[in-house]
Amino acid sequence: MINIILFGPPGSGKGTQASKIVEKYNLLHISTGDLFRYEMGNNTPLGLKAKEYIKKGELVPDEVTIGMLTNKVVANQDVAGYIFDGFPRNINQSESLDRILAEMNTQVSGLIALAVDDEEIVSRILNRGKTSGRSDDNDESIIRNRIEVYKQETRPVFDYYAKENKSHELQGVGSLEEVFERICNQIDQL
């Protein structure tokens, strides 16, 4: 299996690029953000719980997120691999992911981070907010909080996988096609 963590700050293009990667490599795209938005859209208990945190730009508690991710993986084991988008968001989630994959006799193949600077992120997300219908995309202070949470809690995940020489960082600015090509070059070297 080939299991990729597509990494980077909010608005760095993970979702957009993941859709292109799954087409080319035939992987299953698992976006925890999309899973939460689906649950919120259906007003499920999980969705209502997640909403309390998402509307503030904070992380949903690990037990909720890890449980949801585990269910998704366990229900879809007959695949060539996974592309994780928006997960893991902290070290504890990374350790859980490693355990889940180890139980399936596989592992993280590599983490690919998209580098985009803060001001570019804010303007991209505000722009996305015009059409995304996401309340967390429309308020600059929430966006800045999401960036802060990324730096404090999520960025250490890069260092965690770097210890196993699995972390790779690419320039996330450029055309969609340019960024995609950089990612494919990296995947082909994993």
What residues are annotated to the active site?
A: 14, 89, 128, 134, 146
Decide if residue 57 touches ligand C5P (CB under 6 A): yes
Q: Which of ligand C5P, Mg ion, none binds 129 (CB below 5-8 Å, type-dependent)?
A: none
Residue 112's closest CA among 23, 185, 25?
185
Query: Is the CB of residue 100 less than 8 Å from the CB of residue 70?
Result: yes
What's the rounded Cα separation, in Å, for the pair 111 and 131? 29
| Position of minimal CB gap to Mg ion | 15
- Is residue 87 within the footprint of ligand C5P (CB under 6 A)? yes
Find the shortest distance in angstroms from Cβ 169 to ligand C5P.
18
Interface residue with ligand C5P among 7, 36, 84, 160 (CB under 6 A) is 36
What's the token pair of residue 154?
């999520």
**Separation of alpha carbons 50 and 36, rounded Å:** 7
CA 100 to chain centre: 17
- 129 makes contact with ligand C5P (CB under 6 A): no
Q: Where does this chain bind ligand C5P (CB under 6 A)?
A: 10, 32-33, 36, 53-54, 57-60, 65, 86-87, 89, 136, 146
